[in-house]
Amino acid sequence: MNLDKVLAGFFIIFAMTLNFGFWYGDPSAVHMHSKYELFAAIVVNLIATVLKLGDKSQVGSVLIATSLVADLQLIAAASIWTISGYNEPMDTETFGIIISLSGGALLANITSVVIYVGDTLKSKR
């Protein structure tokens, strides 16, 4: 059991699951998307990105790229939520943007996981 791989895999997949959890549900219903879950998703995504840093191989570079994309989208979603939804209640249009941004981040995370699993399957150890 490779502790390094366990930790890395854990955070990468955890990032994807949290992201999915936030994104799933009717885009017009605010109560279906918890902002704490978005917060958790951002944090775990950041940790996953940091863990992927420093890998010079091709696979490593692509993993970092997908992670950065996911980070960017989620932070953008959180920023929009903060700026527009601070004191007054949010309108559905803005909320739609937030949800779609997180949806994009989800795709990046899925790609990341697929590449990661694929690389692991390919290795003969």
Partner 1 sequence: MKYSSLWIVLQRMRLPFTVIVISYVIAMIGFLIIPGVDDAGKEYFLTIFDAFYFVTYTATTIGFGETPYTFTHDQRIWASISIYLTVISWFYGIGSLVSLLQDKLFLSEIAMARFQNSVNNIKEDFVILLGYNDTTSEITKKLLDSNMRVVVVEIDQARANYLMLEGFTPHVPVLVKDAHNAEALELAGIKSIHCRGIVSLFETNILNLRVTLASKILNPHVKVVVRSSTDNDTGNLLDAGADIVENPFNIIAYQLQMALYGSSLFKLKNWLYKIDALDGKSFSIPSENIIICGYGRLGETLYKMFIKNNISPTVIEHNRVIFNRAKKDGVEKLINGNAEDKFTLKEAKIDEAKLIFVGTNNDTTNLSIVSTVKKLNKDTVIIARENELSDFSIFSHAKIDHIFLPSKILIHKTVNALINPLSDTLIRMIARKDEQWGSELLSNLIKNIGVDPVTFELNINKNEAEQIYNHIKQNNTLKLFELRRSRRDRNQHNNIIPLLIIRKDKEILLPSFDEAIELEDKILFACDDNGKEDLEYISNNMYEFHYIIHGEENRYFTNIIKNKFKGDKK
Nearest CB to partner 1, comparing residues 2 and 54: 54
Burial class (CB in 10 A: 0-12, 13-18, 19+), 14: middle
The token duo for 120 is 């692991």
Contacting residues for 104 by C-beta, under 8 A, at least 6 apart: 69, 73
Contacts with partner 1 by CB under 8 A lie at 35-36, 39, 43, 46-47, 50-51, 53-54, 56, 78, 82, 86
Nearest CB to partner 1, comparing residues 34 and 118: 34
- What is the distance between the alpha carbons of residues 13 and 86, in angstroms, rounded to a whole number? 31
Nearest CB to partner 1, comparing residues 28 and 82: 82
Q: To the nearest whole angstrom, how small is the minimum distance from the Cβ of residue 116 to partner 1?
A: 17
